Amino acid sequence: MHFNIDDLQLIHFADPRMTTPPPEFDFEKDGEKAEELVDVLHEKMVQLGGVGLSANQVGLPYKVFVFGDKEQKYSMFNPVLVGASKEQSTYSEGCLSFPDLMLVLKRPAEIMVKFQDVKGEEQTMTAKGVAARVILHEYDHMLGINFTNHASNFKLKLELEKINKRRKKLLKRLKANNGR
């Protein structure tokens, strides 16, 4: 099986593939696909303007995610959170699966994750700050949950109302411009 970036499309956040933890990546069976999978996920993440992308966000049944930027590419296969600091940091967070939605969330300031690299070798990483936040965000996708689960219903409703107001304002402006 080969992966094609044009075939990868974000799936709806309520799709069962997003709300069910994906199966572990099997290096014995699919190990030769690992590098190609990481490359195409990273390329799609950059194309979409994100800093992280999990395989299940584009409908692929693998417990793997990528993160980084155009120049730097990191991946984690079969990640397991093994530690998190009691210290929390608060930061605005978005998700490619929820366009326009930004939520200010508290997450651990530092984490430790065990995972397999692209060759199937077990690794451990400690991350702080934004890196920790991105890893936790993508790790949530591996559990079948998304960042809205970390927000109160009140905060979520407030942000959704803001988005609707911006959309209505934009539609009004577009209608006014078409009348000219």
Q: What is the pLDDT of residues 81-103, one digit of tens each?
A: 999 999 999 999 999 999 889 99
Q: Which residues of the chain have pLDDT under 70?
A: 1, 179-180
Domains and CATH numbers, the chain: 5-175 (3.90.45.10)
DSSP string for 152-174: -HHHHHHHHHHHHHHHHHHHHHH
Angle at 56 between CA 51 and CA 60, to 5 degrees: 115
Average pLDDT for the chain: 93
So what's the pLDDT on residue 158? 92
Contact between residue 108 and residue 126 where contact means Cβ atoms under 8 Å apart: no
Contact between residue 91 and residue 105 where contact means Cβ atoms under 8 Å apart: yes
Catalytic site residues? 138
CA–CA distance, 54 with 66 (Å, rounded to integer): 6
β pairing state of 64-68 and 88-94: unpaired
User: Percent of the chain having pLDDT more than 70?
Assistant: 98
